[in-house]
Structure 1
Amino acid sequence: MVNFLLEVGTEELPASFIVQALPQWEEKVRQSLTEQGLSYQEAHFWATPRRLAMVLKGLPDAQADRVDQVKGPAAASAYDAAGSPTKALQGFMRAKGVTPADLRSQATEKGDFIFAQVATQGRTTGALLQDLVPGWITGLEGKRLMRWADGSLRFSRPIRWLVSLLDGQVLPVALEGLQSGATSYGHRVLHPQPLTLTGADTYETELKAAFVWVDPTSRYAHIEALLRQAAQELGAEPEIPADLLTEVNYLVEWPTVVVGSFEADFLTLPPPVIKTEMMSHQRYFPVHQPSQPSALLPYFLSVSNGDPRHSPLIARGNSRVLSARLWDGRFFYNEDRKKRLEDFLANLEAVTFQEKLGSMAERVERIVQVSAWLADHLGFSEAEKLLIVKTTRLSKADLTTQMVKEFPELQGIMGYYYAMADEEDPLIARGIEEHYLPRFAGDGLPTTTTGQIAALADKAELVASMFSIDKIPTGSSDPFGLRRAVLGIIQIIWENKFELSLWTLFAQAGKKLVHAQANLGALKKFYQQRLEIFLIEQAKIDYDLVAAVVDPSILEGVEVAESSLTSIMRRAYLLQKLRQDGTLAEIYETVTRVSRLGAGSGLSPMDLDPRRLVSPNHFQTPVEKTLFDVACNSSEVIALDNSSGSSDKFAEVDLTKLVEHIKDTVEPVTQFFIDVLVMAEDPDLRTNRLNVLGVLRNQYRLLADFSKVVMGGQ
């Protein structure tokens, strides 16, 4: 067994590149070694701002020797009449380096062929690594890769040294004129002199002696512990967002926590302003009163990569920088407060939303119209509707404030503070803040009705608008965040159990858009894909059950309550439960056979009541009457409304009773197929029998399209 160390020394790497590079490296190394028949007992992938490193322990000395069966010419053409190898066979033997003794005739699906036993000696691990290492480095992907000097190699930052040691011995590797060796470098300030490494086993220890904490996982935990200890000494609690700590972790090699302070007068600013200045712009960690996140204290914590002896000087410098930023923030806030939030609405007319879609003011009007429709459609009171409409009208007003112009990440948040300062209804203020939610994966959802409806209207208008001008996401490109917007809509509707069709929502959002109708098909497919992904990946519903409920054509023509997103998701969860408790297997054969034959009836999906489609006068067996009666029992399951006189409508389906109804049909359907010839020669009998099956099929489809369900596998 051998151990291998690879270190790629660079100029300071961006933290974002390191975050992407480490998992790429792990996957590339695992895959390429597996392809070469090499395994390892232990692997570590480490990084600091100045290096990427890997340690592989327990590698075999070499590949195993192997014998392969290699197919040659057809047996019929391999030998001549005298039994001597033909030219084709001779060429095959030369190419594979084998003799006649290594050949065998073997039968295949296409006849007999000559096969050779070809022995291949395994290459040494060192030789394989020499071939693989350059590709491991140059194959790393990232944003804004660069070239340097006269070379053609592209990497995140210039590569300055390369260490490649196999069991402590230098393994020669060349990369863009750079030769590997054993020389590395420690911390730029605390250990600037060169460092000679001895191998994989001592790598971490040797670097720590040179003031480099190379393992990012333990370094992360160490920084977090230092932050909590420093805050505790202040009698405070730190705010430590995981993404900020991850970024800081890849900006330091030997972390030291430095405590800084600022003038207490700045605490009159809204806490998000102070925290944004700290975290987004300076990468500082705020501290607050224990168990009171909004009660900030006039201190902050920063993670330094410098000499710990100079921490007081570093703290003073950090404090000066933050104070200057907070002075700016206070100026912007005071200037904005000279006007009411609604006074900023007029400025939106000068802000272009998108060249083909008009100004931000025009967009706000579209959002307001969608939110008003939602309030009516979902049955909110007039008082609630007034709050919802005002929330959406003010939702983008803070975009033209000086504070948001300087700090765009505070949009919505500053709207909340300005609305509260204007003594608007707290539901309006909170709705303005929440209407952007969820902003990213794992983010929370709006908690107020104003925020929920404003968020739905905002996101639906965005998606409809972009599709109307062909700004459709392709591949990994989604510059307007439309996938995230649709996912947010799905989450909000499901969380609040709104009886709302996604398709109806998007159609409403596109009413005021000139070209909205052009891409309706693409939009329909897009939201269907998002829903499928949500149900499979987040709700953990089996893929075939998702397919059985998501296709809008399943309930085409059905009233809103049963074509709503909530209904679709409710049916998906129910199907998953029925699979788990065995009910699905119990009814599957019946529903699929009925559905297959019932499709030949040609009935509309809304034909759910057999009484006006099936004539008892044509019954010839008792089971036909029994099955007819069972189908008629659907009135206890489906709330029918025949008030129009021309077609059946219904407001809701009791899914629990629907499942029991389907189970009740199993026995009579089974007997029906035994006693009755469905495709009778008499057209009246045939139509009557197909119609009863067609009605049952439609009733079954209120739960799912069972033709999409896969039994015996998931």
Structure 2
Amino acid sequence: MSKDFLLEIGLEEMPAKYITASVKQLQERIEKWLAENDLEYKATEVYSSPRRLSVIVKALAEKQADRVEESKGPAKKIAKDADGNWSKAAQGFARGQGVDPETLEFREINGVEYIYLTKEVKGAATIDLLPEMRQIITSMTFPVSMHWADYDMKYIRPIKWLIALFGDSVIPFEITNVSTSNETRGHRFLGGSALVASPADYEETLLSQFVVADATKRKAAIVSQIKEIEGMQNWTIPIDEDLLEEVTNLVEYPTVLHGTFDEAYLKLPEEVLVTTMKEHQRYFPVVDEAGNLRPYFITVRNGNHEHLETVAKGNEKVLRARLSDGDFFYQEDLKITIDEAVAKLGNIVFHEKLGTLTEKMIRVKKVALIIAEQLQMTEAQKVKIARAADIYKFDLVTNLVGEFPELQGIMGEKYALLQGEDAEVATAIREHYMPTSADGELPQSDIGALLAVADKLETLTGFFCVNIVPTGSADPFSLRRSALGIMRIIQAKNWDIRLLSVLADTIDIERAEGLNTIPSEEVFEQVELFLQNRLRAILSDQQIRHDIIDAVVSAGSNIVPELIERAELLNKNRDAEWFRPTMEALARVVNISKKHQGDVTIDPALFENESEQQLFDAVQKLKQDYPTLVIVDRLRAFAALRTAIDAYFDNTLVMSDDEAVRNNRLALLFELASFIKEFAQIEEINVK
């Protein structure tokens, strides 16, 4: 027998961007609890809106399945004394299992008899277990939480009502003085309270109170209504998926409508109009067939179709005010030269321990030119890099960016072009912020990518120099994102930057500026590890096995694309027939070579068998060819060495009693190991 179970957490309006992740978390926690309690069910369904997080468990078993448990106790020689009486150990075991000692039996395992108890355990009734939903609710975590009233608990928003319904039975528990019931609440203005007779009635009950509980259906309704207006008006309405997701989580009963704005505002940069509509008003812009903006917008009302004309006029009024402000700020910004804006940056503190934006830009310029030198960029490119580094933050003091921070970089490019700056310099001003998220768009131009790396590396190093580092989940200055961005850009550009060398130079630059709270060596080690961890994340996202990641990252490399290629190559070949014996042979070389001490020159005259000479010849050829070999050929070269390595160990006692012979053999292995360890810490790879 089974019944559906409904859990609804009723809340004050939640931030839209956290709703989808929160209801998914609730679903995952419930599914984990069901598995831990051996409760069978058919499926789980999620529902959400600005005021609720809900999960329905379909066909949930009414009780746990009965099961047989076996418990192993002490050995027979401990369980009974010389007279055959039960010992205290056996009696304690029986007491712990809740049985009489006489019910115990013995079972032989590997020639030794042990107490064994087999007992049937009746499954618990589901209705008696479901009050544990309280712990599931209270244990949830959120990016933002709040206290309310005088309760100690923090939650995404105050809890206003709770439903816990198994079939038609309410599961009793209480959180912050709110008790469970079968009463839900509908749309704040159009609906009211309603009783849910059973989980199967949940969606229909809420719909009668003007709530579309299924977010997928709400989203589909919004898209359908947009498409309907698009057809009726002969418009093109691009649907931004992120905006659609946010709007879906802002409304409970969606009704799509359209409005207009003064065509004169189309003279503003498109980004100003789009940002105003999307970011500030949550409107969908309208474009023509060529993709040019038209003076219309689409918005979604949290309500029905009544008085839509009045609602549209209200939205038009708000947008008109925002666009009027944008136009004023834009016109004012056109009166300011770039040099005047740059001069103002000296009055803006980047961070109290890191100086002003002007001071930061000076440091970034030095780092950027070091990277440009490594990449052997032309003198013309270096001139553009220097100019970009001199001005790339200037738009932060403009009126428009002050009002619309989302436009930083974007307006910098616009204003730079209007004032005659080189197109590559202008593009770099926009691109240096990229990527703006873990998987965000990367800069495309070389100068923009270089400036982005320099800016992020200087930021990262600067904060570490003054001992401001991320701890746990706290990363207020987004240093993890900066480090990840550095790695992603270098990988995408396939740049052979000696990153650790640049890091050392960057630390010297910071030191020259007086940023020296902690020693340089410590900063270097911390930032190197920090960058390595971000690289581990990139490799992990590529489904590369963790032991291979450890082996390659631990080997270290100044050159990020090469390191990534090594990891990908090892991961690709991990199931090949030759892989395991090759890795075992190479690991044996590395492990024994650790006994080598001093600088012993290899003397072929001390070789005592043909295998030594063959391995020596193979190592010398590897030494000669290695610098010109691409990564895949280096791995092939190691694989080709396996036969010589195996023959060497089969015929040679490395740890000879003769000290000269022993040191000579260790020196040979040490020389080979130096190439192996540069490729990867082979001993880290699991080939069992």
User: Quick check: 1:542 aligned with 2:545?
Assistant: yes
Deviations 1:84-108 (A, max 9, x none): 6677766776665433443335678
CA distance in 1, matches of 2:626, 2:491: 22
Name the amino acid aligned to 1:456: V
Structure 2 distance, partners of 1:79, 1:636, is: 73
Counterpart of 1:513 in 2: which secondary structure? helix
Task: Specify the alignment match of 2:528 in structure 1.
Answer: 524
Q: Distance in 2 between matches of 1:657 and 1:174?
A: 66
1:268 aligns with 2:271: no
Aligned equivalents of 1:674, 1:21: Cα separation in 2: 61
2:378: which partner in 1?
381
> Is 1:284 aligned to 2:277, yes or no?
no
Contact 1:603/1:694 (<8 A) preserved = no
Aligned partners of 2:23 and 2:54 also within 8 Å? no
Q: Cα distance, 1:322 vs. partner?
A: 0.8
Distance apart, 1:413 and its partner CA: 0.8
8 Å CA contact 1:388–1:454 kept in 2: the answer is yes
Q: Deviations over 1:226-251 (max 9, x none)?
A: 23333343433334333322221111
Change (3 A) 1:679 1:102: closer
Q: Deviation string for 1:188-208 (max 9, x for gaps)?
A: 33333x323221122212322
Q: Which moved more, 1:426-435 or 1:93-102?
A: 93-102
In the TM superposition, residue 627 of structure 1 has moved relative to its aligned partner by 3.0
Partner of residue 632 from structure 1, selected from 620, 638, 647 = 620
| 1:521-600 equivalent positions in 2, closer than 5 A | 521-537=525-541, 539-551=542-554, 554=555, 563-600=558-595
**SS of equivalent residue, structure 1 residue 47:** strand
Task: Determine whether 1:135 maps to 2:157.
Answer: no
Alignment equivalent of 2:609, drawn from 621, 637, 643: 621
- Give the Cα–Cα distance (whole angstroms) in 2 for the partners of residues 77 and 674 of structure 1: 49
- Aligned runs of 1:18-97 on 2, under 5 Å? 18-69=19-70, 97=98
Alpha-carbon offset, residue 665 of structure 1: 2.6
Secondary structure of the structure 2 residue equivalent to 1:309: coil
Rounded Cα–Cα distance in structure 2 between residues aligned with 1:671 and 1:393: 62
Q: 1:443 is aligned with what amino acid? A: G
CA contact (8 A) 1:7 1:51 kept: yes
3-state SS, counterpart of residue 12 of structure 1 = coil
Aligned to 1:299: 296
Do the aligned residues in 1 keep the contact of 2:285 with 2:298 (CA within 8 Å)? yes
Per-residue deviation, 1:635: 5.4
How far off its partner does 1:618 sit? 3.2
The answer (yes or no) to whether the contact 1:189–1:307 under 8 Å persists in 2 is no
Aligned-residue RMSD, C-alpha: 2.8
Residue in 2 aligned with 1:201? 200
- Mean Cα deviation higher: 357-366 or 685-694: 685-694
Query: 1: distance between equivalents of 2:428 and 2:98?
Result: 77
1:541 Cα offset (Å): 2.1
Distance in 1 of aligned mates of 2:675 and 2:176: 69
**Does the aligned pair in 2 maintain the 1:368–1:389 contact within 8 Å?**
yes
> How far does the alpha carbon of each residue in 1:347-387 deviate from its partner, in whole angstroms, 9 at most, with x for none?
11100111111111000000111111111111000001111
Shift of residue 566 of structure 1?
2.2
Q: 1:596 to 1:5 in 2, by over 3 A?
A: closer
Q: Give the aligned partner of residue 162 of structure 1.
A: 162
Please name the residue that 1:488 is paired with. 485
Match of 1:219 in 2: 218
| Letter paired with 1:340 | T
Q: Distance in 2 between matches of 1:687 and 1:82?
A: 65
Report the Cα offset of residue 427 of structure 1: 0.7
CA distance in structure 1 between the partners assigned to 2:360 and 2:170 by the alignment: 64
1:669–1:115 distance in 2 versus 1, CA, 3 Å = closer
Q: Deviations over 1:451-504 (max 9, x none)?
A: 011001100000000100111111111111111111111111111111112212
Q: 1:371 to 1:46 in 2, by over 3 A?
A: same
Equivalences for residues 137-536 of structure 1 within 5 A: 137-148=137-148, 154-192=154-192, 194-290=193-289, 292=291, 295-514=292-511, 515=516, 517=520, 518-536=522-540
Quote the offset at 1:148 in angstroms. Answer: 4.6
- Among residues 677, 683, 687, which one is paired with 1:707 in the alignment? 683
Moved more, 342-351 or 496-505: 496-505
Runs of at least 5 residues in structure 2 that lack an aligned partner in the other structure? none
Cα distance between partner residues in 2 of 1:691 and 1:580 = 32
In structure 2, give the amino acid aligned to 1:248: V
Given that residues 353 and 363 in structure 1 are in contact (C-alpha distance below 8 angstroms), is that contact kept between their aligned partners in structure 2?
yes
Identity across the alignment (%)? 34
Query: What's the offset of the Cα at 1:308?
Result: 1.2
Q: Post-superposition shift, 1:331?
A: 0.9
Q: What is the correspondence of 1:643-658 to structure 2 with a 5 Å cutoff?
A: 653-658=629-634
Compared with structure 1, are the counterparts of its residues 680 and 53 closer, same or farther at alpha carbon in structure 2 (3 Å cutoff)? closer
Q: Following the alignment from structure 2 to structure 1, what is the Cα–Cα distance between the partners of residues 53 and 665?
A: 73
1:381-413 CA-to-partner distances (Å, cap 9, x unmatched) read: 000111111112211111111111112221111
Using the TM superposition, give the Cα deviation of residue 60 of structure 1 relative to its aligned residue in structure 2, in angstroms: 1.2
Q: Would you say how many aligned residue pairs link Structure 1 and Structure 2?
A: 680
C-alpha deviation, 1:83, in angstroms: 6.2
Contact kept in structure 1, 2:3 and 2:167, CA below 8 Å: yes
Q: Deviations over 1:555-582 (max 9, x none)?
A: 7xxxxxx742222222222222332444
Gap change, CA 1:404 and 1:545, over 3 Å in 2: same
Q: Is the CA contact 1:102–1:117 (under 8 Å) kept in the aligned structure 2?
A: no
Task: Note the alpha carbon deviations across 1:41-79, whole angstroms, 9 max, x for none.
Answer: 021121112222221111111123345445678866767
Is the partner of 1:701 in helix, strand or coil? Answer: helix
- Residue identity opposite 2:213 in structure 1: V
Q: 1:223: how far off?
A: 1.7
2:664 pairs with 1:669: no
Query: For residues 44 and 144 of structure 2, what CA distance do their matches in structure 1 show?
Result: 29
Could you say if the C-alpha distance between residues 404 and 690 of structure 1 is closer, same or farther in structure 2, counting changes exceeding 3 Å?
same
In structure 2, distance between residues paired with 1:376 and 1:82: 89
SS at match of 1:253: coil
Aligned to 1:688: 664
Distance in structure 2 (CA, Å) of the matches to 1:145 and 1:549 = 40
Quick one: structure 1 residues 603 and 545, their matched pair in 2 at CA, closer, same or farther if it must change by over 3 Å? farther
Aligned 8 A contact 1:236 1:288 in 2? yes
TM-score by length of 2: 0.91
Judge which range, 458-467 or 47-56, deviates more: 47-56
User: Would the aligned equivalents of 2:548 and 2:567 in 1 still touch at CA under 8 Å?
Assistant: yes
CA displacement, residues 8-44 of structure 1 (integer Å, 9 cap, x when unaligned): 3333233244233212211221122222221210211
- In structure 2, what is the Cα distance between the partners aligned to 1:73 and 1:698? 53
Report the CA distance shift for 1:706/1:402 in structure 2 as closer, same or farther (over 3 A).
same
Which runs of 5 or more residues in structure 1 are unaligned? 556-561, 605-611, 640-651
- 8 Å CA contact 1:637, 1:657 repeated in 2: no
Q: 1:225 to 1:603 in 2, by over 3 A?
A: farther
- The correspondence of residues 4-23 of structure 1 with structure 2, limited to 5 A, is 4-23=5-24
TM-score by length of 1: 0.88
> Which residue identity lines up with residue 407 of structure 2 in the other structure?
L
